[in-house]
Structure 1
C-alpha cells in the first residue's frame, strides 16, 4: 500500500484544514509531506491538450523567480525575486491587486546572493502571510490587509549571511533557514513563535552538541551515524594524489559526541573550521504530525577547498529529523562526508508511507536518491539517479558510507576533470513530487559534469570564501538535463526523458496521472505520469525556475507557474557574464540560454485552464 502521509486532526489548526482542501495551495509544496500532489481531477489526460492561457501577471521584477505562489480562499499571494515584493490578487475580481508589500532592503544585499536574487516563496498560518526577505528579515503580514504584524532579523548580513527560503509554518512556529555557505557563515535552522516572532529554538549545523541541539537519544537506533571518522586516508588523504577509503561498519568508532567540533580542522580559516562551517538550510522543510518531527537537509561545508578542512565536517551535508517543539535532533545522517565537490545536501525530503512503513525520500545533489525509515533514520535505499554519477561507486547500506572513487577526489591547486555530477548536482533545489496514485516520484534533473580546482582562500568576514574554480559541461548523454519517474522502494528509474537544459522547475503531480513542470527554454509541460509521454506544452515569456501549482476557483481547476529565468543555472546569463568560470561555472555550461531568453529574465505568473 502506497500513500500520502496521514494527518491527525488538529481542530485548531487552520493550515491543516487548508492543506486538505485541494481547491487551495496554502503550503509551499502543498502539504507538510512536501509531495507537490493534488487530488483535483477536472484537468485530465483526455482534455489536457485543450489547456489555454487563462491570465498572466507580470511581477515588474527581473531575475530568477523560484518557488510558487500561495492560494488561500479567494486570494493568490505572489512573491518576487529581490526586493521580494508581495502581491495579494483577488481571484473574484480579475486578479485585481488587493494589497502589495514593498520591502525596503539595502541593494547591497544582492551581492551576497551567490546564485541569483531568488526567493523561494511565502508561508501562511494564523491569518498571516510570512515573507523571508533576502536581507534576513522575517516578516509577518496580515493576510487580509497586508499590514506588518511583526518582523525579526534572522541572520547578520555583515557576516555574509542572507536568506532565500520560503518560511514553513508548523503548529505554532515559523521555521526558517540561512544562506551563506560561500561566505563561511555558520548556518542554522530557526523556529519563531507565530504570534509574536520570538525565537523558540535555533539549531546550528556545526559546532558543539549543545548548539546543534543533539542529546543523548540522538541516532539511538543507528549509532554508527555518529562515528568519529568514516574513512581512512590513502596516500595522505588531504593532499594531491591522496584519497579516502571507506571504513566498514565494524571498523567505525561510535557513538561519539561533539562531532560538530571534532570532525573539523582548518589551516585557512580562523579558529577550528566549524565556526565558519557553512551547513546552509535554505531548502524545503517537511513535517510528520504523528511523530512531531521536522525533516530538512544541511548544505556544503564552508570553503569549497576540502584540503583545508580535514575530517568528515559534521553536521554539514546531513539529513536531520528534529522535534518541532524543542528543536532537539532525533536522528541525523551525513550523505557526503568531507564534501569535495559542493554537493549541498539541502534538497527537499518527501514523506510517504508504503508497505506499513513510514518513509522519507531525498534526491540529493550528490546524485544518489535515498529512502529512509523516517521514524529512526535507518537507511533503506541509496542508489544513483543516473549512471554518469562517478564521484562514488556506491553507498554501503550497513554503514551508510559512500565508497568514493579516488580518481575524482579534489585537491588544492589540482584541476580534477570529468567529475559527475557538477556542483549543481543531479538535482538542485527544484523540488520533486510524489503521487500516491502511481507510487512514484517525479524528479527534475541536471545532467552536468565539471572540472574543479580548489585554491588557497583566506577567510575574511563578509567576503566570498569559495576557494575553488569550476567549469561545467553537458554530461555523457549530450544534454544538460532530464526528467524521470523514480521508484523509491526499488531505487531505480521507471522512465526517463532527456531535456536540452536542466529541468529547473519544481514538479506538480495530480490524481489524473498528470505531471507538470517548466524548463529553462521557456516550456511549461504536462506529461503522462505512467509513461512520461508529453501530452501538452506551452511556451511562456522566460525560462521557468518556479514550481507548478494547481487550485480550483468557483468550480474550475487552474494550473499555474512562475516564469523568470535565474537561479544558479541562469545567474551568469542574467548578469551578462561570459567567461566559462563565471557564476561558479554556470556561464560556460549554460551559454546557450541566451538563444532562448532575454536577459535578465522578467518575472510573471502564468495561469492555465480548460
Structure 2
C-alpha cells in the first residue's frame, strides 16, 4: 500500500502525530522504505541511491521516452535532485534558491513556488558555482538551506515560511550549498566556505521551532567538537583531550577546520549519523604544519546529542584539497565470513574506504582510480596513507610547481553520489579522471576574501584523453567489474534499480541507462543542458518514471557558469573543461522519462 502524502488524504492525522518526537523519528524511517516515493536526497538514510522499482528493466529501457519537462529559469549549475512525496515533486535551484512544488497529477504544473530574497553579494563568496544540493522533507515541511546560510522550513502544502534560522555569516565567507538531512525531530545541516577560512560545523535544529539543538565543530577544544577524550575513538584508540586542537599551529584551527558541505547518512539501529569534513585552510600546506585535526575526516555522531563516537582522518595534513565530504554508503553484508554493519566512502583522494560503522575499524582501503599516485596505499593498522614524496606540494616550497599529481583537487570523485545495488553487490561510481600541477603561494587571511594560497592547472592523466569514468566497483576486493570512459567528468549522481538498470548523466547532457551487470548501454537521451544533478525514480498512478535535473555548472564547469576564461581560473578547472562549451549550454531543466504503453501495476 502506498504511504499517503502529507498533501493527500490522511494529512490531518499525520500532522497531529508529527507533533510528537516519537512520530517524528518514525516518519521518515517508514517513508524511505516506500520505493514509489523519493523522500530524501540520496533516496534513503543509507545513501544507497537504490530503488526497488523494476518496471523499467534491461528489456524495455531502450523504449524510454520523455514524459514531460520543466524549466527552472535559472542558468547556473543544478546539482542535487527533486524529492517526490505523494503526488508532489519538490524541485530546487542554485542561487537564488527557488523551490517549486510540481503537481504530478497535472504533468508538473506549479502548485507553488518560493524564492527567497538574498543579497547578491553572496555569489562572490561561493567558491565553485552557486550550487545547491537539494531540499529535505519531514513533518509536512520542506527544508531548504539557502546560499546566505539561512535554513528555512516551508509548509509543504502552501510554500509559506514556517520558520527560518541563520546558520552563518556570508560576509565572512560562510555559505550554504548542502542538502539538509532530517533525523528524528531534528534537521541537520553543515556549512560551506573552506576556501574562505571558515571553520566547519554540523548543526541540528528542532524541526518544529528552528531552535538549535546542538552544534559540533570539526576543529577546536572538546567543548566545541563534542568529543569525549576517553569515549571517542580513532583507529580503536581514545583520541585524548582537545584532539581538535592537535596538529594546528597557534589559532590556525579557527581558519578552515573542515567544512561540512557534503552528505549525511544515518543508521536508525545505532542512532548514529555519518558525514565527512573538508579541507583545512589555507590550501598552502606550509602555512598550517601538523595533522590539522579533524579536517578530512569521517565522523560518527549520536543523532540526539551530537557527541562523537568515532572519527577517522583519511588525509592528515592535506596538501591537495582532497575534501572528505563525499557520501557515506551504509551496507550490511558479510566481510571475511562475518556479518558486519559497514560504511563505504569514495573519497576525493582516490581511495575507497570501508569501515565497520559501529566501531570505526578500517577494513579496506584501495584505489578506485588506477591513476592515483600521491600515495601508494593505506596502512590498515595505522590508517595512514603511504605518501609519495615526489607529489608533495609542501616539500618543494612556495611558488614551486609540483607536477602530475593524481587526482587533481577535483578528486577522483567529488560530491556526485555513487549508488549501490544489493542485487549485484556492486557500487556504481560517477568519477573524475583528472590530474594537476599545483603551486603553493603565500596568502593572508582577510574575512570574506579567498583564503586559498595555490595555483592549479588540470588535465587528464598522461597518455589518456578522458576526464571521466563511470565504474562498477566491488568495494570488498577493491576491483572494478567494468567501467565506461567519458570525455568529461561524470558529475551526476548515479541511480541503481531492481530492474538491473543503472542511470547516470554526462556533462554534455546525456541521460544514460546501462546494464548493471555488464555496463552495456541500453538508452541515451540528450537533455537541454549538461547534467551535474542526480537521477531519481518514483511511480505515479502505478507507473514508474525516471527524473533528472540538468543545468551545467559546478566546479568542473565553472568556466561556463561564471564566464571565466583563464586556464587557471576556477581553481584550475577552466582550462581542463574548456571544450565542454562545444556540446552544451547553460539552463536548468527537469526532464521526466517513462516507458510508453504497457500496464501500470499497483503501487507497493
Question: TM-score per shorter chain, which class?
Answer: over 0.9
Matches within 5 A, 1:531-542: 531-542=518-529
Change (3 A) 1:500 1:173: same
Shift of 1:218: 3.8
Shift of 1:272: 1.8
Is the Cα contact below 8 Å between 2:235 and 2:382 reproduced in 1?
Answer: no
Matches within 5 A, 1:154-303: 154-220=167-233, 222-224=235-237, 255-265=239-249, 272-303=251-282
- Greater shift after overlay, 195-204 or 570-579? 570-579
Would you say 1:424 and 2:410 are equivalent positions?
A: yes
Q: Residue 607 of structure 1: SS of its match in structure 2?
A: strand
**For residues 465 and 353 of structure 1, what CA distance do their matches in structure 2 show?**
41
**For residues 379 and 401 of structure 1, what CA distance do their matches in structure 2 show?**
11
**For residues 234 and 212 of structure 2, what CA distance do their matches in structure 1 show?**
30
Deviations 1:477-496 (A, max 9, x none): 32101010111211221111
> Could you state the TM-score of these two structures normalised by the residue count of structure 1?
0.91
Shift of 1:216: 3.7
| Structure 2 residue aligned with 1:605 | 590
Shift of 1:277: 2.4
Q: Residue 29 of structure 2: SS of its match in structure 1?
A: helix
**For residues 123 and 95 of structure 1, what CA distance do their matches in structure 2 show?**
19
| Structure 1 residue aligned with 2:379 | 396
Q: Residue 524 of structure 1: SS of its match in structure 2?
A: strand
Would you say 1:362 and 2:345 are equivalent positions?
A: yes
Change (3 A) 1:380 1:51: same
**For residues 340 and 159 of structure 1, what CA distance do their matches in structure 2 show?**
24
Deviations 1:131-187 (A, max 9, x none): 000000000000011111000000111211101001111111000010011000111
- Greater shift after overlay, 311-320 or 468-477? 468-477
Is the Cα contact below 8 Å between 1:285 and 1:349 reproduced in 2?
Answer: yes
| Structure 1 residue aligned with 2:551 | 564
Q: 322, 325, 335: which one pairs with 2:304? A: 325
| Structure 2 residue aligned with 1:268 | none
| Structure 2 residue aligned with 1:238 | none
Would you say 1:315 and 2:288 are equivalent positions?
A: no
**For residues 455 and 64 of structure 1, what CA distance do their matches in structure 2 show?**
29
| Structure 1 residue aligned with 2:401 | 415
Aligned CA RMSD, in angstroms, stands at 1.1
**For residues 158 and 104 of structure 1, what CA distance do their matches in structure 2 show?**
16
Q: 408, 417, 422: which one pairs with 1:436? A: 422
Shift of 1:307: 0.5
Shift of 1:259: 2.3
Deviations 1:292-325 (A, max 9, x none): 0000000000110000100000000000000000
Shift of 1:580: 0.7
Is the Cα contact below 8 Å between 1:310 and 1:338 reproduced in 2?
Answer: yes
Q: 460, 470, 491: which one pairs with 1:474? A: 460
Deviations 1:546-597 (A, max 9, x none): 0000000001100010000011011112222121100000110101011012
Shift of 1:219: 4.2
Shift of 1:217: 4.3
Deviations 1:427-477 (A, max 9, x none): 000000011111111001100000000101011111111100000001233
Q: Residue 192 of structure 2: SS of its match in structure 1?
A: coil
Change (3 A) 1:410 1:539: same
Shift of 1:25: 0.4
Is the Cα contact below 8 Å between 1:182 and 1:278 reproduced in 2?
Answer: no
Q: Residue 73 of structure 2: SS of its match in structure 1?
A: strand
| Structure 1 residue aligned with 2:322 | 343
**For residues 230 and 306 of structure 2, what CA distance do their matches in structure 1 show?**
13
| Structure 2 residue aligned with 1:508 | 495
Is the Cα contact below 8 Å between 1:221 and 1:376 reproduced in 2?
Answer: no
Shift of 1:44: 0.6
Shift of 1:257: 2.4
Shift of 1:103: 0.4
**For residues 451 and 220 of structure 1, what CA distance do their matches in structure 2 show?**
36
Matches within 5 A, 1:506-585: 506-585=493-572
Deviations 1:320-366 (A, max 9, x none): 00000000000000000000000011000000011111000000000
> Could you state the TM-score of these two structures normalised by the residue count of structure 2?
0.92
Q: How many residues align?
A: 565
| Structure 2 residue aligned with 1:387 | 370
Question: Where do 5+ consecutive residues of structure 2 fail to align?
Answer: 1-21, 596-604
